[in-house]
């Protein structure tokens, strides 16, 4: 009897315990059911790193300059539009390497395979929303840079006690905050959760076969599947001081997902979430090396759940901070602080449509539900000037009900 037949008989009889049973297809490697993650995010092939996510580092750096530029009142709409939709070789940024890059922020905004490949209507509408915030910042806020903001009038409000100046539109919204916090969902989370961690990208074309046979991408030291997973990682840790061990500085490395993973980690109700996310990235990458795609997909589900939770927690947190400020006696309300918090909350609410339920193709909060929440927040002619603590509480409860935390936990 041939060896292959003997093995088949052994599998059927249940006595073959050295490895999992497989088909007669010799190209399919045996599954490693004991995947072990490394201590840090370090993976090598032939003694050299097999990790690359420079494109994500570049886009994070571009996004940082854009949100900073939105606070410079001498910038024109053309300048800001060019930064957002950067064209290779144009001097849009202070960093020559960014100017030389063929990357842009706008091209990857609302551009995931899972959510927007066949939904260009929403993708285009979301990009146009970001374009509109730029236009409004230039047309409505910049001309009133020295005007005191009042209901229905854009301008500046200073936080109590000589604090920061906050520049708001006629409805009290800081458009730079809306833009930056919405980008956390529309770029960072959408690309990580709904693009690079999805099987449509990871297993696309010959990726599975090539990974099974350790066939690297042309001229590279990684398989395409490995690279796609690393690109998801890059949207969280691409700006980290130590990219192999980023939790040492989590929260301090960028203004986007990294920052707010750190903020949520600092809340005792959610302590440990940063490690859970990082550990899932490590184990998922190790599973790709081990050709264990069940473990890979399990880790992707964990990452989706935890990153989605980070966005939701911060949405509720800022709504509750704003609510507390508005509950002060009328004569002492610090509108600048309240509107700053609520503008951040606005952006995190907008980002909820890019969250992802684990093992699902759906967000925790749909696009239409998000719009309904934003409509409540900005209702009426004067928007945030008129919003009530009761409305903020209601929106907070609606968000928390979609997740496994309470308003009290997130709002503290």
pLDDT at 184 exceeding the cut of 90: yes
Torsion of CA 76, 78, 80, 85, to 10 degrees: 180
Instruction: Tell me the C-alpha distance between 175 and 137, whole Å.
Output: 6
Does 182 or 2 have the greater pLDDT score?
182
Mean pLDDT across the stretch 24-35? 58
pLDDT at 370 exceeding the cut of 90: yes
Question: What are the residues whose beta carbons fall under 8 Å from the beta carbon of 304, sequence distance 6 or more?
Answer: 193, 197, 355, 356, 357, 358
Task: Determine the number of helices (DSSP H) and then strands (DSSP E) in the chain.
Answer: 18, 4
Q: Angle at CA 110, nearest 5°, toward 106 and 111?
A: 85
Q: Is residue 7 included in any domain, yes or no?
A: no
Q: Using DSSP bridges, classify how beta strands 48-49 and 155-158 pair: parallel, antiparallel or unpaired.
A: unpaired
Mean pLDDT across the stretch 110-115? 98
Mean pLDDT of all residues belonging to the chain: 93
Q: Is residue 6 included in any domain, yes or no?
A: no
Mean pLDDT across the stretch 380-401? 97
What pLDDT is attached to residue 13? 34
Say if CB 287 and CB 299 are below 8 A apart: yes
Q: Give me the domain span that covers residue 196.
A: 46-412
User: What is the count of structural domains for the chain?
Assistant: 1
Mean pLDDT across the stretch 103-109? 98
Q: Is residue 410 included in any domain, yes or no?
A: yes
pTM of the model: 0.92
pLDDT at 308 exceeding the cut of 60: yes
Q: Is residue 267 included in any domain, yes or no?
A: yes
Q: Is residue 53 included in any domain, yes or no?
A: yes
Q: Is residue 21 included in any domain, yes or no?
A: no
Q: Is residue 344 included in any domain, yes or no?
A: yes
Q: Is residue 174 included in any domain, yes or no?
A: yes
What pLDDT is attached to residue 380? 87
Mean pLDDT across the stretch 373-380? 96
pLDDT band of residue 132 (cuts 50, 70, 90) is: very high
What pLDDT is attached to residue 6? 34
SS3 106: helix
What pLDDT is attached to residue 163? 97
């Amino acid at each position: 009897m041939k060896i292959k037949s003997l093995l088949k008989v052994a599998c059927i009889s249940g006595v073959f315990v050295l490895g999992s049973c497989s088909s007669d297809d010799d190209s399919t490697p045996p599954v490693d059911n004991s995947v072990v993650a490394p201590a840090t995010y370090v993976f090598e092939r032939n003694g050299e790193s097999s990790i690359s996510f420079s494109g994500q580092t570049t886009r994070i750096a571009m996004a940082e300059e854009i949100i900073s530029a939105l606070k410079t009142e001498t910038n024109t709409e053309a300048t800001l539009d060019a930064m957002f939709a950067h064209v290779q070789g144009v001097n849009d940024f202070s960093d020559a390497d960014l100017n030389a890059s063929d990357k842009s922020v706008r091209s990857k905004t609302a551009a995931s395979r899972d959510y927007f490949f066949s939904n260009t209507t929403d993708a285009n509408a979301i990009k146009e929303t970001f374009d509109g915030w730029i236009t409004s910042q230039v047309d409505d806020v910049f001309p009133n840079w020295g005007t005191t903001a009042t209901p229905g009038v854009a301008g500046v409000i200073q936080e109590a006690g000589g604090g920061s100046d906050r520049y708001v539109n006629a409805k009290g919204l800081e458009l730079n905050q809306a833009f930056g916090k919405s980008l956390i969902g529309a770029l960072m989370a959408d690309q990580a959760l709904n693009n690079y961690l999805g099987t449509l990208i990871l297993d696309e074309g010959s990726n599975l076969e090539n990974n099974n046979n350790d066939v690297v991408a042309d001229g590279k030291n990684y398989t395409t599947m490995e690279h796609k997973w690393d690109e998801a990682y890059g949207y969280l840790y691409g700006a980290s001081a130590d990219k192999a061990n980023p939790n040492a500085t989590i929260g301090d490395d960028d203004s986007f997902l990294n920052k707010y993973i750190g903020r949520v980690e600092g809340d005792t109700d959610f302590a440990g979430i940063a490690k859970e996310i990082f550990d899932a990235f490590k184990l998922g990458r190790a599973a790709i090396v081990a050709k264990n795609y069940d473990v890979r997909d399990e880790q992707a589900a964990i990452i989706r759940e935890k990153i989605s939770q980070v966005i939701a927690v911060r949405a509720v947190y800022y709504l509750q901070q704003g609510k507390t400020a508005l509950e002060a006696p009328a004569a002492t309300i610090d509108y600048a602080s309240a509107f700053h918090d609520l503008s951040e909350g606005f952006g995190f609410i907008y980002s909820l449509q890019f969250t992802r339920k684990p093992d699902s193709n759906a967000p925790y909060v749909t696009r239409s539900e998000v719009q309904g929440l934003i409509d409540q927040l900005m209702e009426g002619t004067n928007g945030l000037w008129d919003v009530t603590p009761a409305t903020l509480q209601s929106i907070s409860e609606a968000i928390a009900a979609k997740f496994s935390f309470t308003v009290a936990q997130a709002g503290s």
